[in-house]
Amino acid sequence: MAVNVVSLIIMREHITRRRALKSLGVAGAAALAGCSDGDSTPTEGGDGNADGGGDDGNGGDGGDTATDDSGMNGTATGTASSVSGEVTIGVLQPMSGNLAYYGQQGLWGFLSGLAYKAGADPAGQVGTGETTVTVGDVDYRLLVRDTEFAADSAQSAATSLVRDDGVDMLFGCSSSSAAERVIGQVVTQAQVPFVAGPAASAAITSSGDYCSDLVFRASENTAMDARSGGRYVANETDVSRVFLFGADYSFGRAVVNNYESVLRDNGVEIVGKRFVEQGYAEWDGLLDNAEEAGAEGIVGGFTVTTLPNLFSSFLSGDYSYRVFGGFATQITNQVVGNTMESVLGSPLTAEKIEGSQLGPFTTRYHWNQYDNEINDAFVDSYTNTYEVVPDLFTSGTFTAASAIHQAVQTSGSTEGADIAGALKGMTVADTPKGEDGYTFQEYNNQARSEMTVASPVPTSDEYADSWDAAIMPGEPQARISGENATIPADSPDMNCSL
């Protein structure tokens, strides 16, 4: 028993010491500035980076329910708690470049989570710099830094936030290579808590190289995409033979490997498997191979650099099988929708889409997949503030912020170490997927949550001004529980045991 007490004291001391890193001078800077290899190439959706699904993881905090003029109903817990003070959070997101929308989603979801807890509207167009959000008697001081969707920039920003700004914790990264670099070079060395998101590489919370008592993720991951999609194909369709395609790097292999595992476990035959480079365009021959192999369905684990080529060839051909995968973000749906219009004709109709044999697809979250009071308030306030409906990544980052405030109230502390301790095993009370919609698994600190399956439909007039794409997810056709969507603790794919 004495050993356990000593270990806990040492861990807390290490976490607290990060505040003194600035005084370490050159030695401290060198320790946090080490380099490691990582792919920081910007790619759209589900790529092991920001990871759009398919193209491209309770303690109640008490308090009174508050309503302000915005109509945003939330739990203003600070008003009913003795907790007061300031939590400084270093926010790492791409705020410039082609994938700035990923960073915006991540940040807007986070701001919305804090706003919901405060019973207020989220802050507007927040950019890099400092923003303070007050929830009850707790001030959340957000220091937003632009990662440029690059691992080097993320590591540099995280180093500065810890060493120079003394942040209590870090949040963010849309690129999984950036998140992994931050974990390896900053979080582990400085012993600062980190809530990753929307970076979705399964390895962040399944590999012993990255998972840690300091690393949490509320955002869904690529394994959840694939495992929920595979379970749907196996149990809810007549498909018994599948050909798997994926991009030849970490994202594509994660999608294919998780689909393969779930499909085989559920009696579906894998008739072929092929990895190709990003941007691959010669699809006619490969799609013919799948037809000749007797495939009744194919899965494509690709980003926006490859999907239009795949879809164009598939839609232009005469194939007997369906295409499965996942819904991604608005910017990917724009490209895919344009491709469908160019092949099938404009305007798209429900009949055209249904006849295309595309989908149904899984989704981590989209605004129209969940019907509950929390999501209703979230969709209204988010759309009014940012003029776009909440997208794929926003539920996970909303939940991250909600969980952090819940942890402050549960622990009675604004210290990073105490917040991390309270997050362990937490069921998050307020989430867009409903009350108690996310639970952090104790064996790897990945939050599990329900996934949905829906077919693409033409974007309705109701969302024409707030969803700039020709297609959107239709009504949910199936729901996959968080327990069934996540990698189990005893799976050979789970190499994390905390």
Quote the pLDDT of residue 24.
31
User: CATH 3.40.50.720: does it fit domain 224-365+454-485?
Assistant: no
Biggest distance spanned by C-alpha atoms of the chain: 72
**Residue numbers of the chain with a pLDDT score lower than 50:** 1-49, 51-71, 75-80
> CA-to-CA distance for 278 and 280, rounded, in angstroms?
6
d(CA 267, CA 262): 9
User: What does the pLDDT read at residue 479?
Assistant: 96
- The model carries a pTM of 0.85
Q: Under a CB-based contact definition with an 8 Å cutoff, are residues 218 and 195 in contact?
A: yes
Q: Where in the chain is the domain with CATH 3.40.50.2300?
A: 9-19+43-220+368-450, 224-365+454-485
Question: Exposed, middle or buried, 3 (CB in 10 Å: 0-12/13-18/19+)?
Answer: exposed
> What pLDDT score does 179 carry?
96
CA dihedral 225, 169, 107, 256 (to 10 degrees): -20
CA distance 455 to 475: 8
pLDDT at residue 7, as a whole number: 30
Q: How confident is the model at residue 133, as a pLDDT?
A: 97
Quick: pLDDT tens for 397-456.
999 999 999 999 999 999 999 999 999 999 999 999 999 999 999 999 999 999 999 999
Tokens of 73: 């109903």
Residue 18: DSSP 8-state: G
**CATH superfamily label, 9-19+43-220+368-450:** Response regulator (3.40.50.2300)
DSSP E strands in 343-388: the ranges are 358-363
pLDDT digits (tens, 9 = 90+) for 179-206: 999 999 999 999 999 999 999 999 999 9
Element (H, E) at 110: helix 100-118
